[in-house]
Structure formats: structure tokens, C-alpha cells
Amino acid sequence: MNVMIDDETLDRQLREATPYIDDEGFTARVMARLPAAPREPRWLRAMILLGLALLGSGIAYLLGGGFIREGVTQLSDFPIWLLLVFAFGCGLVVGAFAVIVAVRKTPEVRDVARLRF
């Protein structure tokens, strides 16, 4: 008389009866059909940068003259150690900002550090 197999054996046999299906180009075919990643064209980036540079120049020109000259003159009257501290502080802020941007744009580093900004 035949005895029915138990659940565990059946499940194991089902799993073992299903072989791993080799990729054989399947992933490449899927990748080829993926829609292109939406990304603004290079010329648009260049135009934005150029526009911002022109805008910045215009603002600097308009604000120039007395205001800027006065500020530089006052700064030159500061003691040298204060100017050094000021320059060092500015460097730290800009450096920290640059590191944050670099980490954000580098997935490998972000994954390792598990940082979320």
C-alpha cells in the first residue's frame, strides 16, 4: 500500500524540482526596454549656469560702488587674526557644504555611511 508523503517532503521536492533559471540575456533584454532615464539636456544645464552667472554679475554691478568699497575698507581695518578666523570659518562652511553634496552624489559612499540628507 502506498503512503502519502508529508507536507515538508512535498514542499522540499517542489523547491528542488524547480531549477534555477539561468539569466541567458534576460536581464539585458529588460534593460534594453527600460525607458531612458529622464535627465535635463546638457545645453539646458549650460544655459542655466550662464544665466545665473550673468544675473550674479548684474547684481554685483548694481550693488557695486559705495556699498562694496565701504565694506572692503572696513574689513581692511580689522586685526589680521580676526580676518584669519573669518577666512577659516568661511572655508569650513564651504568645505562642509561640498562634502555633503559629494556624499549625496556618490551612491557607494551614501550606502556605506547610511546617511540620509
Amino acid at position 40, single letter: E
Q: Which is nearer to another protein, 18 or 74 (CB)?
A: 18
Site track 56-95 with another protein (rule: CB under 8 A), x = hit: ----------------------------------------
b/e per residue 30-42 (b: at least 16 CB within 10 A): eeeeeeeeeeeee
User: Is residue 38 within the footprint of another protein (CB under 8 A)?
Assistant: yes
Here the cell at position 83 is 580676518
Question: Residue 75 in 3-state DSSP?
Answer: helix
Q: Which is nearer to another protein, 5 or 44 (CB)?
A: 5
User: Is residue 41 within the footprint of another protein (CB under 8 A)?
Assistant: no
Quick one: which segment of 43-51, 67-75, 76-84, 104-112 binds another protein (CB under 8 A)?
A: 104-112
Quick one: which segment of 51-59, 68-76, 77-85, 108-116 binds another protein (CB under 8 A)?
A: 108-116
Quick one: which segment of 44-52, 64-72, 92-100, 106-114 binds another protein (CB under 8 A)?
A: 106-114
The CA–CA distances, whole Å, from 11 to 7, 17, 31, 61, 114 equal 6, 10, 33, 78, 38
User: Is residue 23 within the footprint of another protein (CB under 8 A)?
Assistant: yes
Give residues with Cβ within 8 angstroms of 103, minimum separation 6: 109, 110, 113, 115, 117
